[in-house]
Amino acid sequence: MKKIIRFLRSMQFGMILLVLVIACSVAGSLIVQQREPMEYVNRYGEGAARVILALQLNDVFSSVYFLVLMAALCLNLTLCSIVRLPRTVKATAQLLSRAESAPVEHELAPQQVEKVSTYLKQNHYRLREKDGRKIYVKNLIGFYGSFFTHLSFLLILVVGALAVVTATVTDQTVMPGETLTLDDDTTITVESFQIEDDTGLLDYASKIVMRSADGMKEAAREIRVNEPMSFEGYKVYQQTYGTAGSVEIHNLVNGASEVMHLTESCFLTLDGVDGLFFQALYPGYVKAEDGTVTLITSTSGAYSDPVYDVLSVAEGSMSPVLAFPGETLTIGDVSFTFLEPTSYPGLRIKHVSTAVLGALYAVFALMVAGLYLCFFMVPTAVAVTENGYTIVSPKPSTGLIIGLNACLEEEET
């Protein structure tokens, strides 16, 4: 049992797990993921497709073995960190006691010893005197570097999984002027939406107002890509956009009128027989010299010359019509006035615990700090006596030796 635990917490096991993560990642990046089974047959042939599906290589990162791998890595890191923590705490005292008793490694003349002391002071080493021995120390906090690094890696896996599992995400399109009510009665009103800024630069942005269910809290913000709005545990993203046809329908009999936004093909009719069949809205067109019109089918910007592609259905016959904003088409007792199209945002609404989010940011910072301590704050003690000096450090002190040698050579020359 002891042997098994020793293996489970060993660096060797950790490295095996990391190699396996690499293997899964390579497979997951080379084989297209999360496609229909037929696509694998078409791409890789039937035999290979069967192997891919059997080994879940079509969805490596959600496969059982990948999750087991991650769990094993967490276990390994936890055990390894627990075992190493007491050693880390004791490391400073051990370093100092080694420095106190270490024999002189680099013998020097007295004036050179003085030079070494000056160099160390200049390089921010702190002096501790013990039994007549001068011990210069630096970066003792560095002992905690690898502990923080491993802890942060473990926490990134745990808190990251928590952030993904506890988040709920919904996508909604909302017309400008409309209000969306969420499950807990929080509301989101889209006041306006733009595709381009004043200079014509692409800039998808929605002005939104959010109100809490009890109406006590309200906040407004312009959201755009990279600038979501956070409100009471919600994060609202400017995710996509669309452009809807807008038609004012006027009932010539009773005088009633209504504006409708059209996002997909539909039949607008009062009696179920005559009416307007909306097929599509095009962003622009090119008119040739002979008068023929070619429609532009897609754009990433605003619709510059919108064209409505509709069918007029009257008395049992259909006739295609290309209509432009401002035009009116009368069919029976109804007139249809084509308006400038309406651009609208697609919002992504994510509900996520603020505490989890904050924890994830903190853990990211801990990892960077941990690595900095590991690599750039190497704990070092230099014992200086009247005969010379000795360096004690858990890592090679090549940098310090180069510096000290340069400083001593300078003196000689």
Partner 1 sequence: MEILFFASIVGYFAATVLQAAGVTLRKDALCRVARIIFALSFVLHTGFTIWRGVAAGRIPLANQFEFASGFAWSAAIMGLVLYARLKQEWVLMASMPVAFLVLSYAAFQPMEIKELMPALRSTWFALHIGSATFSYAAFAISGGLGVHYLLQLKKGHAEKESRMVQTDYMIYRLICLGFLLLTVVILSGAIWAEQAWSRWWSWDPKETWALITWILYAIFLHQRIRMKWQGKRMAWFAIIAVICVLFTFAGVNKLLPGLHSYAV
Is 374 a binding residue for ligand HEM by CB under 6 A? The answer is: yes
Is 155 a binding residue for ligand HEM by CB under 6 A? The answer is: no
Is 392 a binding residue for ligand HEM by CB under 6 A? The answer is: no
Least distance CB 87 / partner 1 (angstroms):
14
| Residue 163 interaction partner, one of partner 1, ligand HEM, none, beta carbon < 5-8 Å per kind | partner 1
Q: Which of 106, 134, 138, 150 binds ligand HEM (CB under 6 A)?
A: 150
Residue number of the CB closest to ligand HEM reads 14
30 vs 38 by CB, closer to partner 1:
30
β-strand 293-296 against 234-251: which pairing, if any?
unpaired
Is 14 a binding residue for ligand HEM by CB under 6 A? The answer is: yes
14 vs 345 by CB, closer to ligand HEM:
14
Q: Which of 371, 377, 407, 408 binds ligand HEM (CB under 6 A)?
A: 371
How many angstroms separate the Cα of 192 from the Cα of each of 85, 222, 234, 277?
Answer: 55, 9, 20, 28
Q: Which of 60, 108, 125, 146 binds ligand HEM (CB under 6 A)?
A: 146
149 vs 206 by CB, closer to ligand HEM:
149
β-strand 187-196 against 202-211: which pairing, if any?
antiparallel
Spatial distance between the Cα atoms of 270 and 91, rounded to a whole number of angstroms: 85
Q: Which residue has the tokens 């603020």?
A: 354
149 vs 243 by CB, closer to ligand HEM:
149
Q: Which residue has the tokens 């009247």?
A: 386
C-alpha gyration radius of the chain: 35
Is 80 a binding residue for ligand HEM by CB under 6 A? The answer is: yes
| Residue 25 interaction partner, one of ligand HEM, partner 1, none, beta carbon < 5-8 Å per kind | partner 1
Least distance CB 139 / partner 1 (angstroms):
14
Least distance CB 61 / partner 1 (angstroms):
5
Least distance CB 81 / ligand HEM (angstroms):
8
Report residue 252 as tokens.
């010539």
Binding residues for partner 1 (CB under 8 A): 11-12, 14-15, 18-19, 21-22, 25-26, 28-30, 33, 61, 160, 163-164, 169, 201-204, 224-228, 235, 237, 239, 348, 350, 360-361, 364, 367-368, 371-372, 374-376, 396, 398-399, 402
Would you tell me which residues interact with ligand HEM (CB under 6 A)? 11, 14, 18, 76-77, 80, 146, 149-150, 153, 371, 374
